[in-house]
């Protein structure tokens, strides 16, 4: 498999979700490795604004043609927005995993970042899985 | 884990490999949806070498008696060069496997069985041949099998073999001279499209696979893995052993009534199965469509509009052709009505669905004999 892409400024969980912090908002999606492992993505179920999510706990479901997988929260916080594109065009996650975000959260605690990997650590982690 | 002769080629093609019934098989190459749509609109090539080939030989009367006893479809009605979709029945009225039966002549039949079942089919055949009146050979190791499926399959294979295949009707087969051997080609498959299954020696099979992909890539031919094989067969409403078909489920419940025939020489558990056929089974396998976003998978509970538990799903997927989720489900007889609204419980959430007794797709599969 070709080396996975993982842009700078993104942090990654062992379950292959990414999070990117901009001021008081953090954006969450899944990694290139995750979309590639899943294959054609056809359905995503994520919480609406107002719901709370907890780090390392399931916050939604993603389904490809072949399987359903839980989504795990990279950090805790309160959902302020979900991306309507992932419902109308779930295949866009395969095409552009780092642009096609799932939810935005606020009220997170940056100390939780120490349970995540930066881009270079995550690349090493993924290469160890193959 | 067992490997087909094409294993290394699948890896070169960039396939993702998965374990399947003891075999390391390609689940996808370019992607399930693109492979599925290539098969529906152009053509797809499938490695089905893991399937079993069992040869039954002997005196015509002994073979007829034997095969009529262990399968539910009518062997007597077959002519030379005909293929038949059939099922091997057990003593309890369930199925050992679903198979295709090739009548080479009255003294020789060739049976294609599922990869995970050919050993149990061979054993079941031997158990029912205690008087050794027929010769049963599990010849799976020596056969290579690939399937070429799709609306362009006919023109591709005619061009490649330089043959006119129009005389080869639906569920018919013939032997053709190719690469210094007689290859067996049948107009059969499990996708809902026109197409062929090609049985050869191993080296010839590998050669055909490579050359077809090289020469017809430009026409849109793609290699297809197990992922799309499943979405294609679900869209075609074809049952799969271990899901719709089980050793303790009658072929009537599995909606295979059309291959259960009245016989002069009855098959195993004949009275039980024929009773179900005449009276109707308590439940049957039917198609369902999900009316909300989400994906139906195997083993999800199904409820009536009033909330009564009425069955469960046996297969499910996202249909690339219909762009919605479809499935097959075992549902109580009294609730089976086309267009009937039901609900499917997906991870604790009830979602609206509908019973769909008609076709999911209009494939290119031929139905003329």
Percentages helix, strand, coil for chain B (3-state, rounded to 5) are: 25, 35, 40
Which one, of B21, B4, B2, lies nearest residue B242 by Cα?
B21
pLDDT at B369 over 70: no
B244 vs B238: CA distance, rounded Å: 9
pLDDT digits over A68-82, tens only? 999 999 999 999 999
Tell me the residue length of chain B. Answer: 369
Residue B347 distance to chain A (closest CA, Å): 10
**A42 and chain B: CB distance < 8 Å anywhere?**
yes
pLDDT digits over B239-279, tens only? 999 999 999 999 999 999 999 999 999 999 999 999 999 99
Among the partner residues A39, A43, A45, nearest to B32 by beta-carbon distance: A39
Q: Of A41, A42, A88, A130, which to mutate for an interface test with B (greatest number of B Cβ within 10 Å)? A: A42
Contact across the interface for B33 and A43, Cβ inside 8 Å: no
Stated pTM of the model? 0.95
Q: Of A40, A59, A69, A82, which to mutate for an interface test with B (greatest number of B Cβ within 10 Å)? A: A40
Among the partner residues A40, A43, A68, nearest to B33 by beta-carbon distance: A40
Q: Look at residue A71 and tell me if it is in a domain.
A: yes
Among the partner residues A42, A61, A87, nearest to B318 by beta-carbon distance: A42
Residue A66 distance to chain B (closest CA, Å): 7
A110 vs A55: CA distance, rounded Å: 12
pLDDT at B149 over 80: yes
pLDDT at B143 over 70: yes
Burial profile B260-274: b = 16 or more Cβ within 10 angstroms, e = fewer: bbebeeebbbbebbb
User: B257-356 has which CATH code?
Assistant: 2.40.30.110
pLDDT at A1 over 60: no
Instruction: Decide whether B7-49+143-235 matches B257-356 in CATH topology.
Output: no
B349 vs B227: CA distance, rounded Å: 26
Residue B14 distance to chain A (closest CA, Å): 8
Residue A30 distance to chain B (closest CA, Å): 18
B25-40 average pLDDT score: 97
B38-55 average pLDDT score: 97
Contact across the interface for A65 and B320, Cβ inside 8 Å: yes
Contact B23, B3 (CB under 8 A): yes
Among the partner residues B227, B293, B325, nearest to A66 by beta-carbon distance: B227
Residues of A in contact with B13 (CB under 8 A): none
The tally of domains found in chain A comes to: 1
Phi, psi of A74 (to 5 degrees): -70, -30
pLDDT at B234 over 50: yes
CA atoms within a 13 Å half-sphere pointing along the CA-CB vector of B106: 8
Q: Domain extents for chain B?
A: 7-49+143-235, 52-141, 257-356
pLDDT digits over A17-36, tens only? 999 999 999 999 999 999 99
State the average pLDDT for chain B: 97
Q: Which residue of B has its CA nearest to A35?
A: B31
For the four alpha carbons of B57, B59, B63 and B66, in that order, the dihedral sign comes to: negative
Contacts of B155 (CB under 8 A, 6+ apart): none
CATH assignment of B7-49+143-235, given 3.30.1360.120, 3.20.20.220, 3.90.550.10, 3.90.226.10?
3.30.1360.120
Residues of B in contact with A42 (CB under 8 A): 295, 318
CATH assignment of B52-141, given 3.40.50.880, 3.40.190.10, 3.30.70.1400, 3.30.750.210?
3.30.70.1400
Q: Look at residue A5 and tell me if it is in a domain.
A: no
- Domain of residue A84 covers 11-111
CB pairs under 8 A between A and B: 39
Residues of A in contact with B294 (CB under 8 A): 43, 45, 63
Q: Which residue of A has its CA nearest to B29?
A: A39
State the average pLDDT for chain A: 95
Residue B9 distance to chain A (closest CA, Å): 16
B38 Rama sector, left if φ>0, alpha if ψ -120 to 50, beta otherwise: alpha
Residue A4 has a pLDDT of 83
Residue A65 distance to chain B (closest CA, Å): 6
The token pair at A78 is 């309160």
A64: CATH: 2.40.50.100
Contact across the interface for A65 and B294, Cβ inside 8 Å: no
**A58 and chain B: CB distance < 8 Å anywhere?**
no
Residue A2 has a pLDDT of 59
**DSSP strand E in B201-356: where?**
221-224, 283-290, 301-303, 309-319, 324-332, 341-346, 349-356
**A68 and chain B: CB distance < 8 Å anywhere?**
yes
Q: Which residue of B has its CA nearest to A70?
A: B347
* Range with lowest mean pLDDT among A2-6, A101-105, B166-170, B194-198: A2-6
Q: Look at residue A124 and tell me if it is in a domain.
A: no
pLDDT digits over B279-303, tens only? 999 999 999 999 999 999 999 999 9
B338-358 average pLDDT score: 97
Pairing of strands B309-319, B324-332: antiparallel
pLDDT at B368 over 80: no
B115-119 average pLDDT score: 94
Q: Of B26, B39, B227, which to mutate for an interface test with A (greatest number of A Cβ within 10 Å)? A: B227
Residue A47 distance to chain B (closest CA, Å): 14
Contacts of B239 (CB under 8 A, 6+ apart): B98, B245, B254, B255, B256, B285, B328
**A70 and chain B: CB distance < 8 Å anywhere?**
no
Among the partner residues B31, B297, B325, nearest to A40 by beta-carbon distance: B31
Residue A53 has a pLDDT of 98
């Amino acid at each position: 498999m070709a080396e996975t892409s993982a842009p700078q400024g993104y942090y990654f969980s062992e379950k292959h979700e990414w999070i990117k912090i901009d001021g008081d908002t953090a954006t969450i999606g899944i990694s290139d490795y995750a979309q590639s492992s899943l294959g054609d993505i056809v359905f995503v179920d994520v919480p609406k604004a107002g719901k709370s999510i907890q780090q390392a706990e399931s916050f939604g479901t993603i389904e490809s043609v072949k399987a359903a997988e839980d989504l795990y929260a990279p950090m805790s916080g309160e959902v302020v927005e979900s991306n309507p594109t992932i419902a109308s065009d779930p295949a866009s996650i395969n095409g552009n995993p780092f642009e096609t975000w799932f939810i935005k959260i606020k009220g997170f605690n940056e100390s939780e970042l120490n349970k995540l990997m930066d881009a270079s650590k995550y690349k090493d982690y993924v290469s160890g899985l193959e | 884990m067992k490997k087909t002769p094409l294993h290394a080629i699948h890896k070169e093609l960039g396939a993702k490999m998965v374990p399947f019934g003891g075999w390391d098989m390609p689940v996808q190459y370019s992607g399930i949806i693109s492979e599925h749509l290539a098969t529906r609109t152009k053509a797809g090539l499938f490695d089905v070498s893991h399937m079993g080939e069992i040869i039954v030989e002997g005196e015509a009367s002994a073979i007829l008696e034997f095969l009529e006893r262990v399968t539910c479809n009518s062997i007597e009605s077959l002519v030379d060069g005909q293929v038949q979709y059939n099922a091997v029945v057990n003593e309890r009225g369930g199925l050992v496997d679903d198979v295709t039966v090739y009548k080479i002549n009255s003294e020789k039949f060739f049976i294609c069985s599922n990869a995970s079942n050919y050993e149990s089919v061979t054993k079941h055949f031997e158990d029912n041949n205690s008087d050794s009146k027929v010769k049963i050979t599990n010849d799976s190791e020596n056969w290579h099998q690939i399937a070429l499926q799709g609306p362009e399959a006919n023109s591709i294979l005619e061009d490649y073999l330089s043959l006119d295949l129009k005389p080869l009707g639906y569920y018919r087969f013939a032997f053709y001279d190719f690469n210094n051997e007689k290859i067996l080609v049948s107009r059969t498959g499990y996708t809902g499209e026109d197409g062929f299954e090609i049985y050869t020696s191993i080296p010839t099979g590998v050669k055909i696979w490579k050359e077809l992909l090289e020469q017809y890539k430009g026409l849109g031919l793609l290699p297809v893995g197990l992922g799309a094989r499943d979405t294609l067969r679900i869209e075609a409403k074809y049952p799969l052993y271990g899901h719709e078909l089980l050793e303790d489920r009658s072929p009537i419940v599995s909606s295979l009534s059309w291959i259960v025939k009245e016989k002069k020489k009855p098959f195993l558990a004949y009275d039980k199965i024929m009773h179900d056929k005449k009276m109707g089974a308590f439940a049957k396998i039917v198609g369902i469509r999900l009316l909300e976003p989400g994906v139906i998978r195997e083993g999800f509970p199904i409820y009536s509009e009033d909330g009564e538990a009425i069955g469960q799903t046996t297969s499910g997927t996202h249909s690339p052709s219909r762009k919605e989720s479809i499935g097959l489900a075992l549902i109580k007889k009294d609730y089976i009505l086309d267009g009937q609204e039901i609900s499917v419980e997906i991870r604790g959430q009830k979602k609206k669905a509908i019973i769909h007794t008609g076709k999911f797709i209009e494939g290119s599969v031929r139905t003329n004999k």
